[in-house]
Amino acid sequence: MKLLAIDTSTEACSAAVMIDGEILERYRLAPREHTRLILPMIDELLSESGVKVGGLDAVAFGRGPGAFTGLRIAAGVVQGIAFGADLPVVPVSSLAALAQGGYRESGARHVLAAIDARIQEVYWVACEFDNTGQVRMLGDELVCSPEQVPIPDGGDWHGVGSGWETYLQQLQRRLAGTLSGWEAQRYPRAHDVAVLAAAALGRGEVVSAEQALPVYLRNEVAVKQA
C-alpha cells in the first residue's frame, strides 16, 4: 500500500508517505506558513521514497476540525493531486489523528483530544484504543466551551492537544478525578493521518476528489465585535 498524507489543520504543517507500513514524514511547527511549506514537503517525500504520484493507491488529509484556512489548504492540495492522478481520497479526523499521536508516543489507551478552537471553545473528542492500536471515537466530535466537554466514564484519561494549553484550568476543574496526565504541546501529524488512512482504505472508506471537503464543526468564521 502506498499513501500520501498531509495535515495543515493546526499550527503544525506535515506531510507523510507510507509504503507498505513504513512512513517517511516532514513536520514543522510553523503558523501561517502552510501554503509555502506543504508542496515542497510533498515533493521531497515523493523524491526520497521513489514513488510517483501515479503510483500511489490513495491520498489522505486531516479533514478537520481545525483552523479554517489550514483545512482549506489541505483540501485544495489533496483535491488537486487526486483529480490529476485519478486517485481516491481518504478524509481523516484531525482529532482522531491527534489522539493517535498521543497513543503512539505515550501508549495511553484512553485519550481526550482537544484543539483550541479560539473564542473560548475547544474542538473535542474522546478516543480509546484496542489491543491492536485501532482507534474508536466515543461519541461525536464537538465544538464547545471547556466547561461543557463531556465527562468520560472511569479514570486514567490522557489529554492531548493545544486545548489543554489554552484551557488547562477549566478542563482540570471539569474533569477532576478522571485525568492521568496531559500533553499540551501536541498537534495532529501526517504520520498519524497515514496510519488511520491505511486502515480506512482497507475498509473501503474513500471519497472522490470533489467530495474531499473540510469538516469545520463551526459555521462562524469570524466574530463581529460591537
Q: Give rounded-to-5 percent helix, strand, coil for the chain.
A: 35, 30, 35
Asked whether residue 217 is assigned to any structural domain, the reply reads no
The pLDDT value given to residue 195: 97
**In the structure, what pLDDT confidence band is assigned to residue 226 with cuts at 50, 70 and 90?**
very low
Q: Residue 152 is placed in which grid cell?
A: 468520560
Do 142 and 163 lie in one domain? The reply is yes
Do 81 and 106 lie in one domain? The reply is no
Axis-axis angle for helices 190-202, 94-106 (nearest 10): 110
Asked whether residue 72 is assigned to any structural domain, the reply reads yes
pLDDT in tens, 68-99: 999 999 999 999 999 999 999 999 999 999 99
Do 44 and 121 lie in one domain? The reply is no
The CATH code of the domain that includes 130 is: 3.30.420.40
Asked whether residue 20 is assigned to any structural domain, the reply reads yes
Asked whether residue 73 is assigned to any structural domain, the reply reads yes
Do 26 and 80 lie in one domain? The reply is yes
Q: Residue 130 is placed in which grid cell?
A: 484496542
Task: Return the percentage of the chain with pLDDT > 70, whole number.
Answer: 96
Instruction: Identify the bridge partners of residue 18 per DSSP, sorted by sequence position.
Output: 3, 23
Do 67 and 174 lie in one domain? The reply is no
Torsional class of 190: left (φ above 0), alpha (ψ -120 to 50), beta (otherwise): alpha
Asked whether residue 74 is assigned to any structural domain, the reply reads yes
The amino acid at 141: E
Asked whether residue 54 is assigned to any structural domain, the reply reads yes
Asked whether residue 224 is assigned to any structural domain, the reply reads no
The pLDDT value given to residue 222: 40
Do 78 and 114 lie in one domain? The reply is no
Helix-then-strand count for the chain, H and E: 6, 11
**In the structure, what pLDDT confidence band is assigned to residue 119 with cuts at 50, 70 and 90?**
very high
The pLDDT value given to residue 179: 96
Q: Are 115 and 123 in contact (CB under 8 A)?
A: yes
User: How far is the C-alpha of 177 from the C-alpha of 99, rounded, in Å?
Assistant: 20
Q: Whole-angstrom distance between the N-terminal and C-terminal Cα of the chain?
A: 53
Average pLDDT, stretch 101-129? 97
pLDDT in tens, 167-200: 999 999 999 999 999 999 999 999 999 999 999 9
The model carries a pTM of: 0.95
Domain count, the chain: 2
The boundaries of the domain holding residue 136 are 95-183
User: How far is the C-alpha of 17 from the C-alpha of 141, rounded, in Å?
Assistant: 27
Q: What's the mean per-residue pLDDT of the chain? A: 95
Q: Residue 50 is placed in which grid cell?
A: 521513489
The pLDDT value given to residue 135: 93
Do 114 and 124 lie in one domain? The reply is yes
Q: 175: closest CA among 156, 200, 201, 196?
A: 156
DSSP-assigned states of every residue in 18-59: EETTEEEEEEEE-TT-HHHHHHHHHHHHHHHHT--GGG-SEE
User: How far is the C-alpha of 44 from the C-alpha of 183, rounded, in Å?
Assistant: 30
